[in-house]
Structure 1
């Protein structure tokens, strides 16, 4: 029996050619190019920040100009009893400056906006009512004989600012008699001042009481030096966001702040501040002991725009990352020029925001700018990706990111905490979505 030769049933080897990914299409190179593009877009983003700073500076200049014409900040240091005397063996006049034993002030402030072009300045009219009393001064501590004291030439002095905006004549009732203040310039202190004509206090009885009123048009700030041995001040205003400033704060139990305005009271004793109740020869500058209220907007629209622009790098980076992940998952190629167009649209958001804010509120400007950019990028994404679910994902992600940033900038104390938690969650989502991507096959 012949044995047939055994047939070779093995199949011939097939050489499958390796698919070589073009160098510029490798994931690493694409990530590097997108990273460089993100850094490049920081240049126009910085131009936007400079624009916000320039517009803010322009607003401050306009507000300063308007405020100076209406009336500047109010600083009040007085009333001070100024008594001339001569030293023994000298015919030279010198002065004793005596502070009141008790000083009470009641101030009512009515604020209103003053418009110029597209800018608003907050100005006020302040009605300040003063009363108090002086006690018998002791000149023996300076070894000044009673005969050297010229009580017939005593005056009452007030150092202040903003004389041009005092609305009415300032009269003081002292010891039951009326006297009128006249403006002077104190070359030693540089302050403007008001001073009465000489008051004949020879034979005057103490305590000597006084009361007077003064009405200012002003802006930004009211400050007062607590020169009374006991100084009490109360202030009432329609301003809703006062900034209590200076060396003393109001009593928390009497402080009331609402959308309709505020009320506050201060009480300062002589043991609370490090200066005396009388001075001889020179009157010291006590402005560092002054206290009062700022009538300024805590965070204006430009500051909000500046804070939003600081998140520009984050918005661009996360948006590019979203497109990159979609590109990696769907195998759809997105050209670097298309990334560039998307980046420019994201930068234009901030230009739109500052432009619309100047003619409306920040909230409305943020909504309109955000809707415009999200709609533009979503439509552009649809033309690139073709599949409607990806543009929908991008539009939703970008809207959530803008909402997240808006929430952060409204916070003050918890902005860092909320921002950090939000970024942590975003990083976790990116890690989860990218866990199954085969980076070597893209």
Structure 2
């Protein structure tokens, strides 16, 4: 499950998610969108149908999340209506599971939402099929104010030169560790900037002293693999192709085989538990490892599942390989009859002080850095303060953003887990698992 998206509860009555569709069916739906959009644009013309006539406007909005996010979002939209009485909202939300199946069904069926939440698993896919409105003109005119966004956060919404999505919040990778365990045993805490080898040696030391493996094996974690690649001068993707080779993956898998052999990580069965996306199963809170590889904004949820004090630093290696990542985006349907108003709603959600204060950090840290500082000042949750602080520290070290992941990214992530676990369980050598992974990825993005 995507970071900052874990539902606190299922969808309410009337918002049940559908049985997940096959990827082929989803793609057929998106293909239908590509045919439907030009017709919608012809009907919509170049501007809003209701622009300038003072008539009522209803904007449909679709997002995923739990009841807490629903309440916050509905409150923020109600605030917009209070300031713009002519605009009301048709609001739909559901749990994460099945969300993108439903979005594809809505767009293919000719009933797309005007404004919808999306993540980097699918942004390039929807943008590539002309489903999303290019927001670049609104940015250039100042109608969409992104002047307070970190540059790499803004750039991470650009697909093929077009601004396809605006970051609803910021996130970055975080190495979360059990501070209580380390202090109790007189062990040093990990630090930002330590090399990968230093991290593994530290984890081995922790395991020997505490009998708790020092680190979860992240060889199945695309976030860790991606950061490591960027530190090698590579990337996850390059244009429409993979940005890495079989040799790169082999080196990555061999690095963690060495860590397993040294006892720095748990056994494969426990590693498998940690590979689950459920935040409650992360090894740093189940006590089965001293560190977990997560997103920095997951600190509060992790803290809810342990009595121990937690710390968070950057992933090992040069921290400039990390970047200001959009935890998720707001995108506009290209065929919306109310495009100007919908863009103004996005501008309101990310830049209005009252709206940003209402939304808080549910979707990640506020994209507007001035307002982020104000949210930080009023935050009462110590774990959230840690999340904000580590990103504030890393913001001084962030490198340029990579390109938005290409179509097939979700499959690439799944195949990495499959290949890494083959290597972890000894079903394949690192080289064999790497070959399997690259072959499967090449097919996935074709």
With the length of structure 1 as denominator, give the TM-score of the two structures: 0.23
| Higher relative contact order, structure no. (Cα contacts within 8 Å, ≥ 6 residues apart) | 2
Rg larger for: 1
Q: Whose strand proportion is higher, 1 or 2?
A: 1
Q: Whose helix proportion is higher, 1 or 2?
A: 2
